[in-house]
Structure 1
Amino acid sequence: IIKSSYSSSNGVTHVYLKQIYKEKEIMNADLNINVAKEGNIISYGSTFTKRTNDSEDSFDEEEDFWPSIEDSLTSLSEKLNIEIEGIGKDGESNFEEDGGRIPEGIESDQGYLINADGDVRPVTGVTIDRGENMIVAYIDCRYQVLAVNDLVHEAKYGVYPIGTNDPGDGERQIVEEQGSSTASPYGWHDEGNGNKFTTTRGNNVIAYANHKGEKEVKNPEPIEGGNDLNFDFAIDLTKEAPDYVQAAITNLFYVANMLHDVFYAHGFNEASGNFQNNNFDKGGLGDDAVNVQAQDGSGFNNANFATPKDGKRPRMRMYIWNKSEPKRDGDLDNGIIIHEYTHGLSNRLTGGALSENCLTSVESRGMGEGWGDIMAITFRLRKEHNRNTEFGIGAFVSDNLYGTRKFVYSTNMTNNPQTYNSTNEHKTKISNNYHAIGSIWATILYEVLFNLIDKKGFSSDLLSGNIEHGNTLFIRLLIDGMKLQQCNPTFFQARDSIILADAILNNSDNKCEIWKGFAKRGLGLDSKFENNTAIDGFELP
């Protein structure tokens, strides 16, 4: 019997069949046929059995050779030592007397199974949805459990997890999918509309290599993780980046999805213009998962993020860096990935998701770079870090402690002396250094961040959206501030929007900590901009 079929974009039709015996399916007898568009069979695979043609059946044909659902669940409970609704761990049944009601979350059917000896046995199949797993088991007439499968597969990724910025900051780990069921209700590999993938592709992110540096990759090739979604690929940093491209793509896919889910928890959702193919009827425009391109061959020592308006796909391009031998891959520097994704966040939220030109003035464009830097630092924080800790952006890929900025991020005025009026030297009639302006904005926000952490503590849980701790509250205030600020805001307007965000969210409970951070770096109450010149002010309200 044909169970399903479909045609791929390459013209091949895939047909899937089940073997039938005495009008019932043989559960593990499958045949797949691949048919070319011309109509000829190009390949097939089969687990069909010929044992059904034997003159003597491998079982006695009796009226009750299929065990009841109750007996099947009892056998399974004893075999796996688990408690099933209606059946205790001891195998004792407490089914209702009214005909044995099948408990909710349990399905049953009857058919045949080819056992380990190749015999065809009558079985009762049961499917039990236990939340954390979904068990499918087959029990024969002797009450033996012939096969057990778990339909829930935890995806595995070999990555530098959130809190480990790069190979110089900590060990690579195997992590299971950590996404939020609220932000990604069908996980990271399922769009929730019938489109499921076993590759680095899903509703939020499509990750693949672009070694040719093409402006538009017409046929992207996300890497395959198989049915088990196992993305644990070898990595050898003594070799050149293309030798470990699968590991690089995996890290890029993981970090981008984590950013989607964390930002979602703090308010960057469908209605506000986030990046998803399927918006689940929650507002905004879909069909705009992020295309993230690993090891882009169009250049070196850079990364970028293109953010069109809501409903159009953004694109992140990550490059290889040639500042060391062997060269280093930006896909392994989480801080750079976070910096770039934050460009998408700030562009979609400032002025609304359908505006594309609201971070184009000198200061606002510079702040776009600064938000990227400070968000990268916030995501790499661990419990042992404090206001005396100093960070560089891109330190790993640039092989330089200071990274790609003039100063490390520090609350120490000697190690990082930047204040608001430092922006003057980066604004000229000839050109503007947006990254330098951004580093000043991020330096100011760095003070605010640690003032909040000193007051409210630190949490490594970024996914829940809890704002009881300083670092998680900081993420929320930045996002809420972006929503509140006007198109092309100045430093003053962005500052005031963050302060307003705290007033709305916390009744100004953190007003002093926020103002002290701004004022320490010259953006106090008496700061001003006159005659095209930024003038420091250190006054508190």
Structure 2
Amino acid sequence: MKKNYILGLIATVFLFVFQQGQAQNELNDNQFGSLIQNWLDQNKEKYDLLENDLSNLLVTDAYFSKKTRINHVYVNQGYQGVKIHNAVSSVAVKDNYVFYYANGLISDIETKINTVTPTINAEGAINTVVNHYNLGSLSDLVLINSSNNNYEFSTGNVSKVNIPVTLVYQPIENGEIKLAWDLNIQSLNGKNWYSVRVDAVNGQILDTNDWVVSCNFGDGNHLGHTNHEANEDDTFNLFKSTSMMVDGSQYSVFPIPFKNPTDGPLTLVSEPANIIASPFGWHDTNGVTGAEFNITRGNNVYAQEDQNGNDGFGAAPNGGATLNFDYSSSAITLRPTEFQDLSLTNLFYINNIMHDVWYQYGFDEVSGNFQQNNYGNGGAQNDYVIADGQDGIAFNNANFSTPPDGFNPGMQMFLWDTNSSPLNINSGGTLLGEVVASIPPNDVDNNITGPSNIPVTADLVIVDDGTGATSSEGCNALINGAELNGKIAVIKRGSCNFTAKIQNAQNAGAVGVIMVNHNNPTNDPTYTEYVNMAGLTNPAFTIPSIFINNADGEELILALQNNTVINATIFRALVDGSLDNEIVAHEYGHGISTRLAGGASNSNCLGNAEQMGEGWSDWFGMMITMKATDQPTDARGFVTYSSGQGLDGPGIRPAPYSTDTSINGLTYASTNDVTTISQPHGIGTVWATVLWDLTWKYIEKYGFDADVYNGSGGNNKIMQLVIDGIKLQGCNAGFVAGRNGILAADMAITGGEDQCMIWEAFAARGVGFTASQGSFGSRTDQVENFDTPPDTDASLQNCTSLSVDEFKTSNYSIFPNPANNVLNIKVKKSFGDVTMTLTDINGRIVLTKNANLSSDAQLNISALQSGMYILTIKGEGINTNDKILKN
């Protein structure tokens, strides 16, 4: 007897208990289960599925989207009650039938399963992961809960949170499906949150996904920054049609649509919280009028500093009882601690803006958004964003971690280097002024990397360890400590470790170190002028250390040997990534796409080789910073402020974003280029390029609306479409699946009104009708094609090619709607000969009638089944679509 395991809201994914998003009353859970099971049974041959493949199906997430009126159900395939990791199908149920299906189920699973009995236990799997990723010494591991091969262990002194372990099946590349332990560990340093599948038979690591997405923005060109005067209307038009929360709050920030401090002035904004998305303001957590926090903390985000990089609770700006976060008098300097409150206020602001804006388009409680209190709107709560500003663990980057719904995501914002060298020669010798030097990335440079970054100014002294010819290498205890005390040590690169040299200098009382590279007399091809002095120390150094080339270093040494007194300053000039709204939005965007793809309880759906996460995140950042003055052919550089390029720089991606292919010529085939297109960031750039082209097609047709909350422009329409497309596309999606999700979203929202335009945009970049994304596990098997579907394709029959301004809907009306038997079309002007077509939601034409709309007309629909249809009226003077409901 076939068992039906479609269950409402299974809660076994993470720590056993999830408050899953509840489906609305239109369809209860049993209806979902019966409907989906019957549909799959009827369509299994289309997806090469056998009856046994459909006998163990689990619903991991289910929720209702208001804009599309779709019930999203994410169905996870299982075997004998154990789920198969990421074998997830996205099912869209609309008007009591399956509107869209994105298959993620595996065929003939019974012949691919290796075993049903684990050899290694859950604790052994934890040991394997801890050892493999060098997470520390596992101790005091305690089993807290267990039920049906689901376990919760204590932190074991290796994880910041308790460790959940559950039995799953893991598909592997050769087609086999192996029994495995699925567990996740958040490293104590906060740099990684590993979600791992461990072979339950031999203990081999089968699959890993790091929930901490490190964006690798990279080192910029580090040019100077300049301020930019902007039109005030750019900033405030977006608020005019939006209801805001009245709580007296005010924040000095660089408000959207400004990208960063080079794009617009520091502005004091008042009460910016959106009353729909944040009905009790940004500082509430209990759902009662009045703020629970006077600091930069509330229902959606907690913004704090983490200079020491310990992921603890740091300082946060305090606005007092009036919530006055006015730091407009703060000067933005190259020492970010001097404007820390301003920085954290901007970080708090942009996180909340991202929450409130994208809430309007469907990133809400039931779909997995980030809130401490969901105010009774469903979904799992207690998962506000913990945003660390001026984080001390890294530079020139940022990251975002997204665990499943109900657990706090984390954002870490770092400081960025400017174009200034960290070494300036103040007096003595011939080297005066700024001297090119590099800063090593690890703990060797401790003091110079901190955001306090106090300049160190002192005279230079060559070290002497008493070893004769190599005494200036400082490999042994220094014998000129009295001379070095309070001075900057000059050390030659040599045979011993950099850490030993710096430690010896610090022990002798030096306040800083200049490391001089050796010469390259043999023309060694591996030689580089500047190297990273990598290495860890315990305890960490308290003095800064920098590295200079041989030519400059030898000139300093020669002058010092000639008894010249040389005075220098070591100082790391920095800018703050928390002031770069594009970066903050990009990071938050990772949380959006991770929660929406494959359901909010699955944080592993974007681990495939062709996933588009980085592309969505770039696009999210660009959408909230668009202005009415922008043009499609502009070269839109991404992250130009933090990378030091100024407002109009090329950005940090392989090409600026532009619809002009002479500026950005990336196409789908570019994703196969492993030399110049990185994974996942370069691949994401290609995806964002396609979305940017599509965005401008929408704006060209529907116009631009600065109101990002309630606007009706093309930018608003594409924002809605992309969010719904991610919900629909399913797990392990590539570009083709992403394209299909967007096409399906358009069918759901408009009945297919813009199908032709969407196809044109995708086809122009190679993601055409016959393009292939290949295997989800490969990044080099994509096949581009620039074709569109044939004109006879049913999905294209509802396309409107006319501008929305070319006819007025007020010139005709359709009634009654809903209707039983007859539709009346009443016109106020003559439209002449037209063709009227009724299409069902799957794109099938069910009725066609030629008519003359010089006067009123009727359409008999009595023979049609009840449901939703799209009435298309096409003629020389009209081209329109209307939703029709048949009772």
Gaps of 5+ in 2: 1-242, 421-572, 790-887
State the match for 2:686 in structure 1: 440
Cα-to-partner distance string for 1:290-320 (whole Å, 9 max, x where unaligned) = 0011111100010110000011000000010
TM-score where L is the length of structure 1: 0.69
Deviations along 1:236-288, whole A, 9 cap, x unmatched?
23331111111000001001101101111111111111100001121111100
Aligned to 2:356: 261
SS at match of 1:370: helix
C-alpha distance in structure 2 between counterparts of 1:512 and 1:529, whole Å: 21
Is 293-302 or 393-402 further displaced after alignment? Answer: 393-402
Residue 704 of structure 2 is aligned to residue 458 of structure 1:
yes
CA distance in 1, matches of 2:623, 2:631: 12
1:57-112 superposed Cα distances (whole Å, 9 cap, x missing partner): xxxxxxxxxxxxxxxxxxxxxxxxxxxxxxxxxxxxxxxxxxxxxxxxxxxxxxxx
How do 1:67-466 residues align onto structure 2 when only pairs under 5 Å count? Answer: 153-193=247-287, 196-214=292-310, 216-217=311-312, 219-233=313-327, 234-325=329-420, 326-364=573-611, 367-400=612-645, 401-426=649-674, 433-464=679-710, 466=711
SS at structure 1 position matched to 2:592: helix
Letter in 2 for 1:486: G
Could you tell me the percent identity over the aligned residues? 40
Residue aligned with 2:411, SS: strand
Per-residue CA deviations over 1:307-351 (Å, capped at 9, x if unaligned) read 000110000000101143431111011000110000000000101
Determine the C-alpha separation between the residues in 2 that align with 1:133 and 1:303: 30
Larger radius of gyration: 2
Find runs of 4+ consecutive structure 1 residues off by over 6 angstroms.
none
Deviation at 1:536, TM superposition (A): 2.0
Q: Is the 8 A contact 1:362 1:432 kept in 2?
A: no
Unpaired segments ≥5 residues, structure 1:
1-131, 135-151
CA separation in 2, counterparts of 1:220 and 1:485? 39
The whole-number CA distance in structure 2 between the counterparts of 1:319 and 1:426 is 28
Counterpart of 2:529 in structure 1 is none
Do 2:768 and 2:785's aligned partners in 1 also have CA atoms closer than 8 Å? yes
TM-score by length of 2: 0.42
Q: CA deviation at 1:460?
A: 1.2
How many angstroms apart in 2 are the aligned matches of 1:425 and 1:277?
42
- The Cα offsets for residues 207-261 of structure 1, whole Å up to 9 and x where unpaired, read as 01111112x31x3332101111111113323331111111000001001101101
Partner Cα separation in structure 2 for residue 529 and residue 317 of structure 1: 33
What is the distance in 1 between the residues matched to 2:374 and 2:333?
42
What whole-Å deviation, never above 9, does each CA across 1:427-474 have from its counterpart, x for those lacking one?
Answer: 89xx9521011001101111100000000011111123x4x2111111
CA separation in 1, counterparts of 2:244 and 2:653?
A: 47
SS of match in other structure, 1:534: coil
2:399 is paired with a residue of what secondary structure?
Answer: strand
Q: Is the 8 A contact 2:244 2:274 kept in 1?
A: no
Cα 1:527–1:133 change in 2 (3 A) is closer
Higher helix share: 1
Aligned AA (1:495): R
Is 1:520 the counterpart of 2:614? The answer is no
Per-residue deviation, 1:534: 2.0
Distance 1:250 1:133 in 2: 19
1:477 is aligned to 2:721: yes
The Cα of 1:153 is off from its aligned counterpart by: 4.3
CA distance in 1, matches of 2:624, 2:714: 13
- Which one-letter code corresponds to 1:463 in the other structure? Y
Q: Distance in 2 between matches of 1:349 and 1:530?
A: 23
CA distance in 2, matches of 1:189, 1:253: 10
> What do residues 124-146 of structure 1 show as CA deviations (whole Å, max 9, x unaligned)?
xxxxxxxx999xxxxxxxxxxxx
Between 1 and 2, higher relative CO (CA 8 Å, sep ≥ 6) is seen in 2
Q: CA deviation at 1:190?
A: 1.0
Q: Which amino acid aligns with 2:739?
A: R
Aligned-partner residue type, residue 262 of structure 1: V
Alignment RMSD (CA, Å): 2.0
Aligned counterparts of 1:210 and 1:301: Cα–Cα separation in 2? 16
Cα distance between partner residues in 2 of 1:454 and 1:422: 27
- The equivalent of 2:66 in structure 1 is none
| Separation in 1, partners of 2:641, 2:653 | 13
Shift of 1:192: 2.7
Partner of 2:738: 494
Alpha-carbon distance, 1:371 to partner: 0.1
Q: How many equivalent pairs are there? A: 385
Partner of residue 146, structure 1: none
CA distance in 1, matches of 2:629, 2:714: 14
Q: In 2, distance between residues paired with 1:402 and 1:321?
A: 17
Question: How far 1:488 sits from its partner (Å)?
Answer: 1.2
Who is 1:44 aligned against?
Answer: none
State the SS of the aligned residue for 1:398: coil
